[in-house]
Amino acid sequence: MNINHTSEKTLIERLFDVGAHFGFTKSRRHPTAAPYIFGNKQGTDIIDLEKTVASLEVAKNVLKEAGKAGKTVLFVGTKEEIVLTVKAHAESIEMPYVVNRWVGGMLTNFSEIKKRIQRLSDLTAQGESGELERKYTKKERVVIGREFNKLTVNFGGIQKMDRAPYLMVIVDPRHDSIAVSEARELNIPVVGITSSDANLRLIKFPVVVNDGLQASVALILSELTEAYTEGKTEFVPAKKEEIRKSVR
């Protein structure tokens, strides 16, 4: 999807208004980010927002195609300042998310992770039905409550994810480098919302912006989730017979 000059200018202005153009100091810049830097002001890298917009359009097309195909996109962002933003945008399109911490093996050892997710689902169901009250003593329920809280923190955002995602959106891939490594091991493409300090060779679809400002991250995530929603309007679920043939 190409954008005309007017819409590009508007998006650049919106990015500028939220401070998306501020990178890190030159000493923190990763060499792979150099092509995305416009200049340096008082020791701070200034990100070239024209290139940001161009790379964002590529990422939006990827999200749109995922929406058209009804694919699962996993959102990841565990930095404290952006976790609520990541969670809100993932939930807005009913996609899974990881915002507390990345548990090692979350993708590469997903068969084991699914057991923890199933345990969380079982405890949720037992709590909603009143079974926990009937079956366990008060002391036992305290222990189970702690287990439930821990499982919710670690896996609540992926409770409905039954397989590895088709695509991942990671805010600050340098911070969540383990998630990037697992995605690469499984050949899962990554859209990385990243500042100038990350190795962009590790990210298939980098979008270089200020990844520490909530407003900057929120603007990029809004563009991406809107693209997914646009694609989803063209999604046609497979018929039951087609699904049976695909799993034979």
pLDDT tens profile 101-145: 999 999 999 999 999 999 999 999 988 888 888 888 889 989 999
Domains of the chain: 5-106+164-232 (3.40.50.10490), 110-158 (1.10.287)
Is residue 238 within 8 A of residue 77, CB to CB? The reply is no
Give the Cα separation of 176 and 169 in Å (integer): 11
Q: Is 159 exposed, middle or buried (0-12, 13-18, 19+ CB in 10 A)?
A: middle
**Which distant-in-sequence residues (6+ apart) come within 8 Å of 125 by Cβ?**
131
Residues in the chain where the model's pLDDT stays below 50 = 1-7, 243-244, 246-248
Other Cβ atoms within 10 Å of 239 Cβ, number: 9
pLDDT of residue 9: 61
pLDDT of residue 207: 97
Is residue 88 within 8 A of residue 114, CB to CB? The reply is no
What pTM does this model have?
Answer: 0.89
pLDDT of residue 240: 52
Is residue 23 within 8 A of residue 29, CB to CB? The reply is yes
Element (H, E) at 192: strand 190-194
Strand 73-76 and strand 44-47: pairing?
unpaired
Side chain identity at residue 198, one-letter code: A
pLDDT of residue 148: 93
DSSP state of 107: T
| Nearest in space to 113 (alpha carbons), one of 102, 124, 100 | 102
